[in-house]
Amino acid sequence: MEILASIPSPSKGELDLFGIPLRGYAFAIIIGVFVAVWIGGKRWVARGGKPGTVADIAVWAVPFGLVGGRLYHVITDNDLYFGEGRNWVDAFKIWEGGLGIWGAIALGALGAWIGCRRRGIPLPAWADAVAPGIALAQAIGRWGNWFNQELYGRSTDLPWALEITRSDGGRVPGTYHPTFLYESLWCIGVALLVIWADRRFKLGHGRAFALYVAAYCVGRGWIEYMRVDDVQLNDVLGLRFNVWTSIVVFVLAVVYMVVSARLRPGREEVVEPDRDAVSGASGDADAESDSDADANGEKVELSKDSGASETESADSDSDADVKDEAGSANKG
């Protein structure tokens, strides 16, 4: 069957921005991060949080996520960097592609936890706010794989087939399923699902984030099963390691949603306490405490003064009695 149409791949993986070369993969990641922070910030404020909080915590979450994503990719696809004829230095070339979402979520959550702890806000509430933004960030980031001619599926002659023109890294020129596009569209659907469900059911305590994770896993499972672009040395019982990971994480996310809904129904009433009000209340309490201390101090001083006056009066009476007795003795 003759191919009627196809998706062409870029001739190079770089963009020329005002004379400055920028890797397409890095550009897609950067745009995705900005979108996630922007949407997360709006959702956070709508829930009663303060502007800028999501961005402040993202300063912790994003670097941790990038490191975690790269570590997961290198560990699960280690033959790409440490196999025969490979250069281990390439493991550090993150701009050439290769971020594992599960590692990014795991270490990114650790960074977010540190940021939330510093701000005194609950991590689950913050995660709920940024969940749709993360899904859209993934949708944008997948186009970085298009620049690198990676993340494609089995050979096909469908009208939307992806053209692969490079022959390095084990690639074979031809037309394949654009699994990067499938996942990008799926992530957009996940974002819309989370937004709808959050408005409809008032999800809270991390359940919106868990829904994002579960829905993403469903798509990632079948999309990952189609892929043929990487060296498949990480298969377990006939399935790619990432497929098994999707299954396990999906189950954990669903269990969390069910248990959380029973233990903590509804949504958090306060996602970010007013630190100024708390400080003011603390200051008022301290002022009252100081006032009480001063009052008690005055009472003690008055008691001391009263005691001293009574002692002086008693001494005066005693002196008068002595004088009277001496006068009587002289008269006798």
Query: Would you give the end-to-end CA distance of the chain in angstroms?
Result: 150
Long-range contacts formed by 18-27: CB under 8 A, 24+ apart: 23/95, 23/96, 23/147, 24/143, 24/144, 24/146, 24/147, 24/148, 25/95, 25/96, 25/97, 25/144, 25/145, 25/147, 25/148, 26/95, 26/144, 27/144
Which residues are 15's β-sheet partners? 22
Q: What is the DSSP letter of 307?
A: H
Cβ atoms of 205 and 260 within 8 Å: the answer is yes
Residues 203, 163: Cα–Cα separation, whole Å: 42
Burial of 159 (0-12, 13-18, 19+ CB in 10 A): exposed
166 is in an annotated binding site: no
Q: Characterize the bridge pairing of strands 6-7 and 161-164.
A: parallel
The Cα–Cα gap between 262 and 59 comes to 33
Q: Which residue, 70, 79, 129, is CA-closest to 104? A: 70
In the chain, the amino acid numbered 294 is D
Residues contributing to the annotated binding site: 142
